Structure 1
Amino acid sequence: MADILSSLDDKIELNRRINDNLEQQAQALFKSWFVDNPDSNWANTSLSEVASFVGGYSYKSEELTDFSNVAMATIKNFGRNRGFKAEGFKGINPSAKLKECHCVNLFDILVAHTDLTQNADVIGNAELLLTCGKYNSIIFSMDLVKVLPKEIFPYKFLLAAMLKNKIFKGHCLGYINGTTVLHLNKKALPEFEIRKPSDSEAKIMNETLAPYYKRMAKLLQETDKLISLRDTLLPKLMSGEVKINETNN
């Protein structure tokens, strides 16, 4: 029994390490383009020129439930050391006040606007939605902001790399209010300054980054299934409902 569970845990950990490496590679590409060798001809502009910002859903505690196909992404999905955690989803039966803009799709960008950690570990972090976990659809809470690329800059993977970089995090740290609960000033995102490559260059960069994030999504979704299998298998193995030779088969 221990060997079976250990093999599942090993695969889960391997997927995590691979995703960490993929993220580092994506950030290395961004650094080579925008930090080490930026083109002097690129325009300086603000994030608000290339992206729009959508606030999240304001929910009531009685809407939360363990029995729903809809989940809400919250700051609990944001790891202190970066990364998106599927276990942070909260099942919810949202009220009629839910708007279509509160829904989030795979590879949409979310930025943490609130933080309960005193060290500001989470606030200002940007994450792509890489999995829906066990749920059919996802909305996002008012603790987060959805960043959508505008038609003039339809390059969500490049935009994500910009916002996942430590330069953006450092920018956000200068816009924090609060003591016990930290809040990000609404001006933080629109006032972030970026270098805007030509359309042809941005397209190539986006296409170069896409396989990294798509691979990360595939591995994270695989991890969700492995965790579900492990958590389902463990009590059955311990109770004798499932025998070791059955699992081997």
Structure 2
Amino acid sequence: MQFKSVRRATAVTAMALGAALMALSACGGPESGGGAKNGVPGAPGRAAGAGRAAQPRPAVPVGDPRALPGVGERLHAEIPADSSQVLAVYGEGEDSADATVVLYSLRGDGWRPVGSWPAHNGRNGWSTDHHTGDGRSPVGVFTVTDAGGVLPDPGTLLSYAHDVDAYAPPYYWDSAHQHDFDYVIAIDYNRLRGAPPHDVTRPWGAERGGGIWLHLDHGSGTSACVSLSGEAMRFLLRTLDPDRDPVVVMGDRADLLA
């Protein structure tokens, strides 16, 4: 009887650990080849689980003061017309893990920068046809609606899931990665909007990846997430406003302008 009880307890623990690892596999650890990638068939700017048809923004020629800097007409048109906050992720190259993140706010005279930070993206760079295991971040325009993390809500207007068990990295990840998920903001790509970031539902199937987040930086490329400093994450959490329909526009500089 004692042996059966121990075995049952071990099985329950293993199941719980498995669920946690599945949720975290998206952003992965130091050697993760897997899942921090989401994919959506068709237009990359249509976020999974958006729940509403976004009205596209009228085309604005590159160079026009109303145009988002460094973003071409194709992706600019995929920014919903109601969005007045854009987090632009400028990747340094198709195969580079280095990026710069700039938060823009729409004012009467156009998009104006609010903050800028160094960042990292997928360790293998970027992809316009993202799949699980490619180590690349997807290029596109995606809404942001839900956040969470190991640490308590720092004062965000986004939906926030504070859950140590759901976001704590596995003990065997090295020390550089132990704070990756202190704060996370889900990028709405092959996920259900309104669900916590660790929800593993993938509307377009697991092979297209999932769990692409903004999270804390560990000094190198990710499995496909975008990572920033803790200071930057706290700023974004306190600044992104659901009433302003914030979106992420992300990709390497060439694809952003294409």
TM-score (norm 1): 0.30
Bigger strand fraction: 2
Considering fraction of residues, name the structure with more helix. Answer: 1
